């Protein structure tokens, strides 16, 4: 592979995407790696970063998007060109075998888009596939973005509910604290709990993994013990597994009372590449008090609530069901900064004397390498596409786990 000297930062073109893959404050980290940073004009404007801020930190502004792709060896993006659809069609034509793309690619949910990426010949890393291991925590974009999503979900619920959140004693009488239920105690769920607690809510939380009970209780919430736990709830990379239909039905039956008693419900349960499990049925929604709010963070995967519609507000008998699909993009400055730090932490170990090296014995590389040499090389994605998986395929089983595992995330 030709020496890689320039990191290109295009403007994101997916509808509603306000983040940028590299925030100005993180540019010095790339320069210390021996890289030059080239940004498309206006790449960070939607996140509050004007071009002058990039120039001040050492970046150069490219004359055009085409010039950026032609000059750059590494392209860093929030969403890979194949995910952005028609607005990024030209980007796919600009990618070549000399490019390394580091981005979110939705590889398990959109395998056909991965095929289109592979056809460009570029070497592609999918940041969603980075294993949940201790050594890779600083690279984990899902966790950094989920934390912001959980925070914003709590604020969204608080502003849309008809009740105030904290207990308040007034001369006119006492207003009780709002009751909240958080389903899924992964990164997003835990951050939602912490935020709601700071706002003064009385919180219950549920997760299929009893091991997270201590984390839930440490944040001041009550762990909802419904006498139902899932064996093998996570895969070897630390991501949630899908359960069978009978498990989810039993879960709904046992949780219905908690949902009915809540003023706010935040759901976060997602399985990478699959449809989100339906945990809250329409009948459960109708049993809630009018004025209550459900924020479904799994809306992009079909939703945990039967009434959810992606990026829509749905009124069900006076209960408001919100289905935001990209909450981190509503906090674009901080989301972009965290994302850029994740990318810097991922890229640094790959660089050797100005070149990106592909060491498949490294677990992080083996799990996240998606395309190389014109082929899809990730084992799980090959299976989804019905492609043969050669002996050099990456993905699950490609490299032994050598680091301490982290708790599975029930949310993205």
CATH number of the domain within which 195 lies: 3.40.50.720
Residues 87 and 177 both lie in one domain: no
Among 117-121, 250-254, 324-328, the range scoring the smallest mean pLDDT is 250-254
Residues 155 and 109 both lie in one domain: no
Residues 321 and 334 both lie in one domain: no
Residues 173 and 278 both lie in one domain: yes
Domain-ending residue, one of 312, 327, 342 = 327
CA distance 94 to 82: 12
Residues 109 and 159 both lie in one domain: no
Residues 343 and 366 both lie in one domain: yes
Domain assignment of residue 36, yes or no? yes
CA distance 277 to 298: 9
Domain assignment of residue 144, yes or no? no
Residues 123 and 155 both lie in one domain: no
Domain assignment of residue 410, yes or no? no
Domain assignment of residue 131, yes or no? yes
What are the residue numbers of the active site? 132, 137, 140, 143, 239
Residues 88 and 104 both lie in one domain: yes
For 281-310, what is each residue's pLDDT tens digit?
Answer: 999 999 999 999 999 999 999 999 999 999
Q: What are the φ/ψ torsions at residue 169 (nearest 5 degrees)? A: -105, 120
Residues 40 and 67 both lie in one domain: yes
Q: What is the mean pLDDT of residues 93-115?
A: 95
Beta-ladder partners of 76 = 102
Split into its structural domains, the chain has a count of 2
Residues 237 and 309 both lie in one domain: yes
| Angle formed by the axes of helices 141-160 and 187-199, nearest 10° | 40
CB of 189 closer than 8 Å to CB of 215:
no
CB of 60 closer than 8 Å to CB of 39:
yes
CA distance 65 to 53: 19
Residues 104 and 194 both lie in one domain: no
Distances (CA, A) of 220 to 114, 150, 248, 265, 301: 42, 16, 27, 17, 29
- Give the torsion through C-alpha atoms of 356, 357, 359, 363, to 10 deg: -20
Domain assignment of residue 393, yes or no? no
CA distance 170 to 233: 46
* Paired tokens of 249: 């039905």
Residues 42 and 98 both lie in one domain: yes
What band does 230 get if pLDDT is binned at 50, 70 and 90? low
Beta-ladder partners of 355 = 352
For 153-210, what is each residue's pLDDT tens digit?
Answer: 999 999 999 999 999 999 999 999 999 999 999 999 999 999 999 999 999 999 988 8
Domain-ending residue, one of 283, 298, 327 = 327
Domain assignment of residue 412, yes or no? no
Question: Does the pLDDT at position 241 exceed 60?
Answer: no
Question: Does the pLDDT at position 322 exceed 70?
Answer: yes
- Sheet hosting strand 100-104, strand order edge to edge: 60-62, 36-40, 6-9, 74-79, 100-104, 123-126, 369-372, 375-376
Domain that includes residue 166, residue range: 150-327
pTM tops 0.85, yes or no:
yes
In 3D space, the residue among 245, 212, 273 whose CA is nearest the CA of residue 396 turns out to be: 273
């Amino acid at each position: 592979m030709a020496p890689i000297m320039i990191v290109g930062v295009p403007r994101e073109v997916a509808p509603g995407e306000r983040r940028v893959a590299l925030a100005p404050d993180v540019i010095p980290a790339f320069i210390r790696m021996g890289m030059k940073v080239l940004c498309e004009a206006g790449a960070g404007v939607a996140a509050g970063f004007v071009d002058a801020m990039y120039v001040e930190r050492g970046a150069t502004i490219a004359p055009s998007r085409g010039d950026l792709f032609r000059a750059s060896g590494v392209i860093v993006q929030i969403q890979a060109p194949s995910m952005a659809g028609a607005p990024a069609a030209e980007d796919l034509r600009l990618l070549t075998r000399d490019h390394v793309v580091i981005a979110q690619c939705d590889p398990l949910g959109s395998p056909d888009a991965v095929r289109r990426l592979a056809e460009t010949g570029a070497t592609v890393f999918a940041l969603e596939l980075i294993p949940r291991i201790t050594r890779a925590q600083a690279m984990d974009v899902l966790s950094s973005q989920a934390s912001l999503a959980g925070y914003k979900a709590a604020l969204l619920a608080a502003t849309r509910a008809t009740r105030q959140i904290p207990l308040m004693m007034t001369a006119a009488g006492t207003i009780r604290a709002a009751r909240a239920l958080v389903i899924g105690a992964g990164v997003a769920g835990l951050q939602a709990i912490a935020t709601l607690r700071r706002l003064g809510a009385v919180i219950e939380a549920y997760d299929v993994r009893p091991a997270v009970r201590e984390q839930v209780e440490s944040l001041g919430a009550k762990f909802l013990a419904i006498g139902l736990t899932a064996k093998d709830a996570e895969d070897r990379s630390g991501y949630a597994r899908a359960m069978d239909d009978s498990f989810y039905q039993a879960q709904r039956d046992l949780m219905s009372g908690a949902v009915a008693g809540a003023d706010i419900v935040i759901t976060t349960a997602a399985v990478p590449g699959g449809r989100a499990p339906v945990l809250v049925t329409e009948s459960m929604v109708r049993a809630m008090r009018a004025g209550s709010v459900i924020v479904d963070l799994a809306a992009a995967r079909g939703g945990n609530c039967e009434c959810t519609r992606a990026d829509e507000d749905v009124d069900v008998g006076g209960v408001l069901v919100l289905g935001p699909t990209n909450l981190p993009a509503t906090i674009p400055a901080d989301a972009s900064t965290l994302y850029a730090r994740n990318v810097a932490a991922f890229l640094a170990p790959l660089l050797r004397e100005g070149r990106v090296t592909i060491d498949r014995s490294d677990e992080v590389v083996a799990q996240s390498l998606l395309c190389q040499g014109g082929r899809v090389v990730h084992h799980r994605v090959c299976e989804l596409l019905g492609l043969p998986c050669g002996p050099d395929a990456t993905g699950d089983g490609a490299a032994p786990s050598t680091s301490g595992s982290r708790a599975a995330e029930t949310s993205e």
